[in-house]
Chains A and B, each alone.
Chain A
Amino acid sequence: MLITFNINNESRTVEVFPMARLLDVLREQLHLTGTKEGCGEGECGACTVILDGQIVNSCLVPVAQVNGSNITTIEGVAQQDQLHVVQQAFIDHGGAQCGICTPGMVLAAVDLLNRNPEPSEADIRNGLAGNLCRCTGYMKIFESVVRAYQK
């Protein structure tokens, strides 16, 4: 089937199998490889994207369900050469180690700050609860988000 959606402010039409995972269409057909696959079962958040204003695990979304939708992946977070404050904060405060969880963490944090510009400590923990970091660098990630909203 042919489906059309808006990705990072660009309209794209792709030929897909309806049950294909959004994750695979992003990586293999659109070559947007910033979105990572971790567990493939909705536990780790590495494949997080923003779909119609809400974060989702792209490994759990069949692509037929995004026809006509707006999607933001990690490639769409920076504006031209200007990094998002969350991205800059992750660089400045050591929020990334191996980097596999980072795109998902950044998108979860961007979504959190979109909904709640002054989150409490509990809000940040809750907002990132679905994203696992196997380097276990959680405190640096947490601090990066705190610094991002303080800007």
Chain B
Amino acid sequence: MRAFVPNYELTTPASLADALALLKREPGVWKPFAGGTDLMVLLEAGKLPHRNYVNIWSLKELRGIEVTDNHITLGALTTYTDVQSHPILQSEFPMLCQAASETGGLAIQNRGTLGGNIVNASPAADSPPALLAYDAEIELVSSDGSRWLPYAGFHTGYKQMLIGPSELLARIRIPRNTRGATHYYRKVGTRKAQAISKVCLAALAKLEHDQIADVRIALGSVAPIVVRCVQTEDALRGRKPDAETVQAACATLSREISPIDDIRSTADYRLQVAKNLLTEFLLTL
């Protein structure tokens, strides 16, 4: 049953300060609304329970990509199209560009934002595995100030996250420390375009003297949140990427993730594919 649109409010503040003032004045009453690629689907299905939204799409303060010697910082409203066309992201963070290119089709990529992908908090989101593997940090702002926190740990459970009702996700910052790393991103879905993932793995590693040194692995669609697989990373660090290591890593991974049966896939299939993707990644090293 379609929603009755007169029941919904979508107010457009003139500035970020105005938006934050509104969130502070009436905490919990207003929620941010960015590109709409998730919220409008719920609206049309009559499943959008919250009624009052702040339109942040036109806030210039939340746009733009800034590059310094040590970091690249992305405004929360950076779209998937923006991501794919940025030269530093293409050269140093290819998994993020690939995630962006495999999210929906072009019309979705023109509206969907990295910030929205994070706070919508879907365990099947495409960019969070790459952001986790790249050690991203996020900035939350409110009229009281700003705080940076690691993206790892931000999601605490299904659709649960460490953000207050008066806070807005403003920026995402990624350290430029991927030189010499092998990057591996693979999303497994029903078809090449427009599909939601059954399993998605983002991983990178650096070898030193034939041994795995820096290794980071993140998986989507295999737990209530997108997960960084630290135990599997521990099982790999300091070892040669040989058959024995692959076997040990897959065994650890099986204990670390908790895939479920749902409309898109089964727990068994997801676990097997996750192990296959990990194996494929390790064989590229």
Chain A residues at the B interface, C-beta cutoff of 8 Å:
17-21, 40-43, 45, 48, 54-57, 59-62, 64-65, 67, 108, 111, 126-127, 129-132
Contacts and interface: CB of A to CB of B under 8 A. Distances in A.
Contact of B193 (A21, A48, A130): A130
A45 B194 CA distance: 10
B10 interface: yes
Nearest to A68: B58
Contacts of A130: 104-108, 193-194
Interface string B1-26: 00101101111100000000000000
A19 B8 contact: yes
Interface of B: 3, 5-6, 8-12, 33, 35-37, 40-41, 43-45, 53, 55, 57-58, 81, 104-108, 110-111, 192-194
A127 B152 CA distance: 34
Given A42-B41, A60-B111, A67 B106 contact: no
Contacts of A126: 106, 193
Give the one of A45, A59, A130 with max B CB within 10 A: A130
Give the one of A55, A67, A129 with max B CB within 10 A: A129
B10 A129 contact: no
Nearest to B36: A60
Given A59-B44, A65-B12, A67-B12, 8 more contacts: A19-B10, A42-B107, A55-B107, A55-B110, A60-B36, A60-B37, A61-B111, A132-B194
A42 B108 contact: yes
A108 B110 CA distance: 12
Closest 4 pairs between A and B when the two form their complex, measured CB to CB:
A130-B105, A129-B193, A19-B8, A18-B10
Give the one of A40, A42, A65, A108 with max B CB within 10 A: A42
A59 B40 contact: yes
Contact of A42 (B37, B55, B81, B193): B37
B126 to A, nearest CB: 15
A56 B110 contact: yes
B5 A45 contact: no
A36 to B, nearest CB: 14
Given A17-B6, A60-B37, A45 B12 contact: no
B106 A108 contact: yes
Contact of B104 (A17, A40, A42, A59): A42
A87 to B, nearest CB: 19
Contacts of B58: 65
Nearest to A69: B58
A57 B108 contact: yes
A21 B44 contact: yes
A82 B55 CA distance: 39
Nearest to B12: A64
B105 A45 contact: yes
A96 to B, nearest CB: 20
A65 B57 CA distance: 7
A61 B5 CA distance: 13
A143 to B, nearest CB: 19
Given A42-B40, A130-B194, A17 B106 contact: no
B55 A64 contact: yes
A111 B6 CA distance: 33
